[in-house]
Structure 1
Amino acid sequence: MEAQLLGSKGLSAFGGGSRGAAPPSPRLLFLAHRIPYPPDKGEKIRAWHILDHLADRFAVEAGFLVDDPADLQHLPVLERRCAKVVWRPALSRRQVAARALLRARPGRPLTLGWFHDPALFAWAQQGLAAGRYDAVFVYSSAMAPYAMGPAARRPGLVRVLDMVDVDSEKWRAYAAAARPPMAWVYAREARTLLAFERRTAAEFDRTVFVSAEEARHFAALAPESADRLGFLDNGVDLARFDPAGGYPNPYAEPGRSGAPAIVFTGTMGYRPNVDAVAWFAEAVLPLLRAAPPAGLAPPEFWIVGANPAPAVQALAAQPGVHVTGAVPDVRPYVAHAAVSVAPLRIARGIQNKVLEAMALARPVVATPQAFEGVRAQPGRDLLVAEGAAEMAAQVAAVLAGQHPGLGAAARAAVVAGHDWAATLGGLDVMLGQAATR
Structure 2
Amino acid sequence: MGDLLFLAHRVPFPPDRGDKIRSFHLLRHLAAHRRVHLAAFADELRDMDRPELAAFTASQTIVRRSKSQPMAALQALVSRRPLSLTAFDDAAMRRSVEDVLARENVDTIFVFSGQMAQYLPVAPRQRVIMDFVDMDSAKFAAYAEAAKGPMRWIYAREARLLKAFERAVAERADASLFVSEAEAALFRRETGAARVHAIENGIDTASFDPSAPFERVPEGGALIVFTGQMDYRPNVEAVTWFAEDILPRIRGACPQARFAIVGRDPTDAVKALAGASVIVTGEVADVRGWLAAAAIVVAPLKLARGVQNKVLEAMAMARPVVASTAAAEGIDHDGTIAVGATSAEMAEAVRLLLSDPRKATALGDAARARVIARYGWDARLAQLDALIGLPLVLGEAA
TM range, smaller chain: over 0.9
Aligned to 2:106: 133
Deviation at 1:251, TM superposition (A): 3.3
Is the contact between residue 163 and residue 208 of structure 1 (CA under 8 Å) also seen in structure 2? Answer: yes
The equivalent position to 1:284 in structure 2, one of 243, 246, 250, is 246
Aligned ranges 1:143-292 → 2 under 5 Å: 143-150=116-123, 152=124, 154=125, 157-223=126-192, 225=193, 227-252=194-219, 258-292=220-254
Deviation at 1:246, TM superposition (A): 4.9
Counterpart code for 1:261 = L
**Partner Cα separation in structure 1 for residue 344 and residue 72 of structure 2:** 45
Aligned ranges 1:13-412 → 2 under 5 Å: 26-73=2-49, 75-92=50-67, 95-105=68-78, 107-128=80-101, 132-150=105-123, 152=124, 154=125, 157-223=126-192, 225=193, 227-252=194-219, 258-292=220-254, 297-317=255-275, 319-378=276-335, 381-401=336-356, 402-412=359-369
Is the contact between residue 48 and residue 63 of structure 2 (CA under 8 Å) also seen in structure 1? Answer: no
Q: Secondary structure at the match of 1:377?
A: coil
Counterpart code for 2:89 = H
Deviation at 1:51, TM superposition (A): 0.3
**Partner Cα separation in structure 2 for residue 345 and residue 213 of structure 1:** 17
Deviation at 1:148, TM superposition (A): 3.6
Alignment: residue pair count: 390
Is the contact between residue 158 and residue 205 of structure 1 (CA under 8 Å) also seen in structure 2? Answer: yes
**Partner Cα separation in structure 2 for residue 372 and residue 125 of structure 1:** 39
**Partner Cα separation in structure 1 for residue 91 and residue 100 of structure 2:** 14
Deviation at 1:175, TM superposition (A): 1.6
Counterpart code for 1:57 = H
Cα 1:194/1:327, change in 2 over 3 Å: same
Please give the per-residue CA displacement for 1:53-99, whole angstroms capped at 9, x wherever unaligned.
Answer: 011111101001101112234x111122101101111105xx25404
Counterpart code for 2:355 = A
Aligned ranges 1:5-20 → 2 under 5 Å: none
Counterpart code for 1:197 = E
Aligned to 1:431: 388
Pair member with larger Rg: 1
Please give the per-residue CA displacement for 1:18-48, whole angstroms capped at 9, x wherever unaligned.
Answer: xxxxxxx520010000000000000100000
Q: Which runs of 5+ in 1 are unaligned?
A: 1-24, 253-257
**Partner Cα separation in structure 1 for residue 31 and residue 73 of structure 2:** 33
Is the contact between residue 101 and residue 113 of structure 1 (CA under 8 Å) also seen in structure 2? Answer: no
Deviation at 1:179, TM superposition (A): 2.3
Aligned to 1:3: none
Please give the per-residue CA displacement for 1:265-292, whole angstroms capped at 9, x wherever unaligned.
Answer: 0011100000000000000000010112
Q: Which runs of 5+ in 2 are unaligned?
A: 393-398
**Partner Cα separation in structure 1 for residue 77 and residue 307 of structure 2:** 31
Is the contact between residue 2 and residue 105 of structure 2 (CA under 8 Å) also seen in structure 1? Answer: no
Counterpart code for 1:229 = V
**Partner Cα separation in structure 1 for residue 96 and residue 240 of structure 2:** 43
Deviation at 1:417, TM superposition (A): 1.1
Deviation at 1:211, TM superposition (A): 0.5
**Partner Cα separation in structure 2 for residue 285 and residue 385 of structure 1:** 14
**Partner Cα separation in structure 1 for residue 216 and residue 252 of structure 2:** 26
**Partner Cα separation in structure 2 for residue 247 and residue 427 of structure 1:** 32
**Partner Cα separation in structure 1 for residue 16 and residue 363 of structure 2:** 26
Deviation at 1:180, TM superposition (A): 1.6
Cα 1:45/1:60, change in 2 over 3 Å: same
Q: What is the percent sequence identity of the aligned residues?
A: 45
Is the contact between residue 215 and residue 286 of structure 2 (CA under 8 Å) also seen in structure 1? Answer: no
Is the contact between residue 100 and residue 111 of structure 1 (CA under 8 Å) also seen in structure 2? Answer: no
Q: Secondary structure at the match of 1:36?
A: coil
Normalising by structure 1, we get a TM-score of 0.86
Cα 1:248/1:431, change in 2 over 3 Å: closer
Aligned to 1:10: none
Tell me whether 96-105 or 38-47 shows the greater mean CA deviation: 96-105
Q: Secondary structure at the match of 1:427?
A: helix
Cα 1:187/1:121, change in 2 over 3 Å: same
**Partner Cα separation in structure 2 for residue 275 and residue 312 of structure 1:** 9
